[in-house]
Amino acid sequence: MAFLGNKRTIFAIILALAIAAGAFWISKKPDVKKMASGVNITPISGEKTAIESPDSDGDGLKDWEEKLWGTDPLNPDTDGDQAPDGEEIKLGRDPLKKGPDDLLNSSSASSNDENQMSDGAPAGEPYNPTQRITRDLFASYIQQRNAGLDPKETASQVVDALLNDNPAAVFKNDFSLNNARVTSASPENAKAYINGLAEISDKYSGQIKENELDLLTRLIQQSNSEDNFNSFDEFKIYARAYEDAALEISKLMVPQTYISAHLKYLNALNNLAKINKAFSQFMSDPVTGLGAVQQYLNESKNVKNALLTAGVLIQKDNLVFKPSEAGFALINLIIALQ
């Protein structure tokens, strides 16, 4: 379909599918004075999915699905042929083309169309991987949606298929026991370590002004509305903060008993730096960006689990922190995470 060649629509489609698949989770920060890390590590309590979205014009298509098709979410009959957009989709008709000659077929959204080149781009249009990926994604969505599958399930399967067919790089852990500066597991060493960890985390957490997934969603929507598809430089600032925090934390003397939690936390921060770099280039490499969304969720859990493990060790060591000590705020955060 011609509108798929429009870059703004391409990213609206990708964003809509990502949201529909439950990729973008909204959570709140723990109600404590300071965060141990800029990443929002509150346990995920719910998701915003496409199936919960409204159908503003009552035409049978959710508003997010209107983005997929390029139809008007406030006009039940976008092409003005007296048939609601949702009904046309069910009947295999093009909601953007007046009837009667408006049937959709596989060539409408695949690379087999006689008006398309073998790489999937329409004749006369410049080809790029994002267009090809989006055409494949859109074709798959059409097939599953017309088969009567649940929109949420359909979108989730399509995004999974997109990532399986176009695997994004997985960010590997860079820190191991070989990099750790290990010391004896005395209460004094443990307290010094926790205070140091808290000080460094607090130092850089102020640079993370907004949950990354909230920010990513907002920036994509803003780019679509302005037809501006430059890099998201805000994420470069976040990436540097995570990098610097990880570097400083890696220099701490770590009690033997805290090594496992230390490495989990350290690698999570370092991987979050890589993830934020991927987010900064989301508009030029959406596949890596979508893959980074899932890894962001994984690393957020790693941060949380590392802190909870540290909390168990702190309790076991009977460590006590004064309000003036950095470790005091970290203890409050750990309690809030439990």
Tens of pLDDT, residues 199-209:
999 999 889 98
What are 255's strand-pairing partners?
183
Q: How many Cα atoms within 13 Å fall on the side-chain side of residue 320?
A: 1
DSSP 3-state assignment of 226?
helix
What predicted TM-score, i.e. pTM, was given to this entire model? 0.64
pLDDT in tens, 303-337: 999 999 999 999 999 999 999 999 999 998 899 88
d(CA 158, CA 137): 6
Omega prior to 100 cis, within 30 of 0: yes
Closest of 242, 253, 256, 251 to residue 302, by C-alpha: 242
Tokens in use for 100? 């009667």
Closest of 202, 203, 195, 201 to residue 314, by C-alpha: 195
Closest of 96, 91, 90 to residue 72, by C-alpha: 96
pLDDT tens-place values along the chain, 338 residues long: 333 334 554 455 555 555 444 443 333 333 333 334 444 333 333 333 333 457 889 988 777 667 656 788 899 999 999 889 888 877 878 888 888 887 765 444 333 333 333 334 444 443 444 455 555 555 555 566 566 666 556 555 666 666 666 566 678 999 999 989 999 999 999 999 999 999 999 999 889 988 888 888 788 777 766 766 678 999 999 999 999 999 999 999 999 999 999 999 999 999 999 999 999 988 777 778 877 887 888 899 999 999 999 999 999 999 999 999 999 999 988 998 88
d(CA 3, CA 111): 15
d(CA 124, CA 126): 7
